[in-house]
Each structure stands twice: as structure tokens, then as C-alpha cells.
């Protein structure tokens, strides 16, 4: 019986569909997962000094721990043993509230001294206050840096100073104390530390008591 027009012939062998030819160029592999360049932590690591292997600068030579503060101070910044108006209050986090230094009572015009040998890393005005910073010698990497404010500087950036050398005088305005005072700070990298830890025990303690004779009491 003749086939209907347009119908396939019964004797026709069905054709197996062929797969499309493989591309000569293999698809590119996805890059391995890595740090997000926009991540703030990544940016902080990129700013570390060469050889720190990506660790923050204040941990560069302490295997994850902040280097200890050596007691190299040889004098108080002002006076002999000035009253501490407000002490060090360690912040819980880098941006938490606290008191990043100590306030030392001092009259206007009193000389402000470097507590240890170093190099003046800054001498100028910040937010209307006179500030002097001294990078302390032989205190590791990054080095310790002390800051005094409000101070009318008598030194310039780059000057070398010795322990007890005057770096300026107390300004009559600019302190955050009820009366004039000097805010004394200490940092290693971006980490704030207690500046009183620079002073050895003999310098921090008060004057030794003296035994005086009691009149009218017979000697044994």
C-alpha cells in the first residue's frame, strides 16, 4: 500500500543525533577562594611592613602578642612625683570608651620633659592643642611612642632628645582637666598602653618615710 505523502518510509533507518563538537578551548577554571580585596581586614594586612607575613604591625615580632613595655623611664614628664588626676583606663576594644593615657597635674608654663631617650616624631598642633610625640630608642618594632599635650613645643620633628630633656612647656589652655594638666600617652603601633609602665618602681613610689626621734622617751 503506498505511503501517505510526507510520511517517513518504513525502510528508512533512524539517524542517531550527533553531539555538538567539543570546544577546542577548555573552560577557564574558577579562581581559588581568597580574601576579599574590599575586606577592611585585608586592607589592614596589606599595609603591614614587609616581612611581617601579613600580621598587624604591633604584632610583628611578638607572635601575636603585644611586646612588653620596658621600664626605661628616668624621670616624670612634669614635676618630681606629680599628682595623677586621672589614670589609665584600658578600652575593651580599639574603639571603646576608656582613658588612653594618664593626666598629670602641672601649672601653666611648667617644663615638660622626655621620660626616655628618643627622636621627636611630631611637634605641632592637633585640633588646636600643642602636641609633642617622641619615638623611644631601642624599644622594638614598631617602637614605643610617647605623646604629651597640651604642650608648647621647644623641639622640632627629627630632634634627638635625652631622658629628662625639656621638649616644651605646659600650655595654659587645651587640657581636658578642671585645672591645667598634661595628658601623657603611650602607643606601640596602633595599640595604646599605660605610660606609667615606662617608669621603674623606684621612680613611681612615693618618698621613703624617715624615722624621727621621739623626744622625752629614754633610750633602751
- The C-alpha atoms of residue 111 and residue 167 are separated, in whole angstroms, by 8
Per-residue pLDDT at 42:
32
CA angle 36, 42, 46 (to 5 degrees): 130
* Of 3 and 112, more confident: 112
Q: How confident is the model at residue 204 (pLDDT cuts 50, 70, 90)?
A: confident
The region, left, alpha or beta by phi > 0 then psi within -120 to 50, assigned to residue 158 is: left
Q: How confident is the model at residue 187 (pLDDT cuts 50, 70, 90)?
A: very high
Per-residue pLDDT at 175:
81
Least confident range of 50-59, 72-81, 119-128, 144-153: 50-59
Per-residue pLDDT at 30:
46
Q: How confident is the model at residue 185 (pLDDT cuts 50, 70, 90)?
A: very high
Q: Which three cell numbers stand for residue 154?
A: 621647644
Per-residue pLDDT at 66:
66
For the chain, the distance separating the N- and C-terminal CA atoms, rounded to the nearest angstrom, is 151
12-21, 58-67, 77-86: which is most confident? 77-86
* Of 121 and 29, more confident: 121
Question: DSSP letter at 197?
Answer: G
The contacts of residue 209 (CB under 8 Å, 6+ apart) are: none
Average pLDDT for 137-153: 96
SS3 call for 196: helix
- The C-alpha atoms of residue 103 and residue 167 are separated, in whole angstroms, by 17
Q: Are 142 and 218 in contact (CB under 8 A)?
A: no
Per-residue pLDDT at 60:
38
**150 cis-preceded (ω within 30 degrees of 0):** yes
Q: Which three cell numbers stand for residue 12?
A: 528508512
Q: Are 55 and 48 in contact (CB under 8 A)?
A: yes
For cell 619615638, name the residue. Answer: 135
**pLDDT exceeds 70 at position 62:** no
- The C-alpha atoms of residue 169 and residue 171 are separated, in whole angstroms, by 6
Q: What is the DSSP string of 37-66?
A: TT-HHHHHHHTSPTTSTT--GGGTTTTTSP
* Of 113 and 16, more confident: 113
Per-residue pLDDT at 170:
97
**pLDDT exceeds 60 at position 159:** yes
**pLDDT exceeds 90 at position 131:** yes
Round the average pLDDT of the chain to a whole number and report it. Answer: 74
The contacts of residue 53 (CB under 8 Å, 6+ apart) are: none
* Of 41 and 114, more confident: 114
Q: What are phi and psi of 46, to 5 degrees?
A: -65, -25
What is the CA 102 to chain-centroid distance, rounded?
A: 16
pLDDT above 70 covers a percentage of the chain that reads 61
Average pLDDT for 123-142: 95
Amino acid at each position: 500500500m503506498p505511503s501517505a505523502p510526507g510520511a517517513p518510509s518504513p525502510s528508512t533507518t533512524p539517524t542517531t543525533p550527533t553531539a555538538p563538537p567539543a570546544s577546542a578551548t577548555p573552560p577557564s577554571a574558577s579562581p581559588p577562594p581568597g580574601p576579599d580585596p574590599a575586606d577592611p581586614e585585608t586592607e589592614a594586612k596589606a599595609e603591614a611592613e614587609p616581612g611581617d607575613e601579613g600580621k598587624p604591625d604591633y604584632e610583628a615580632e611578638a607572635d601575636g602578642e603585644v611586646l612588653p613595655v620596658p621600664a626605661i623611664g628616668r624621670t616624670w614628664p612634669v614635676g618630681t612625683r606629680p599628682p595623677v588626676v586621672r589614670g589609665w583606663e584600658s578600652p575593651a576594644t580599639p574603639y571603646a570608651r576608656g582613658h588612653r593615657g594618664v593626666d598629670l597635674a602641672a601649672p601653666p608654663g611648667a617644663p615638660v620633659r622626655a621620660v626616655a631617650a628618643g627622636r621627636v616624631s611630631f611637634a605641632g598642633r592637633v585640633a588646636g592643642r600643642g602636641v609633642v610625640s617622641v619615638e623611644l630608642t631601642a624599644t622594638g618594632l614598631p617602637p614605643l611612642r610617647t605623646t604629651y599635650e597640651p604642650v608648647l613645643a621647644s623641639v622640632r620633628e627629627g630632634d634627638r632628645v635625652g631622658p629628662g630633656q625639656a621638649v616644651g612647656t605646659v600650655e595654659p589652655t587645651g587640657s581636658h582637666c578642671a585645672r591645667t594638666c598634661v595628658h601623657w600617652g603611650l602607643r606601640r603601633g596602633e595599640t595604646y598602653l599605660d605610660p606609667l609602665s615606662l617608669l621603674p618602681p623606684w621612680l613611681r613610689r612615693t618618698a621613703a618615710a624617715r624615722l624621727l626621734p621621739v623626744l622625752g622617751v629614754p633610750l633602751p
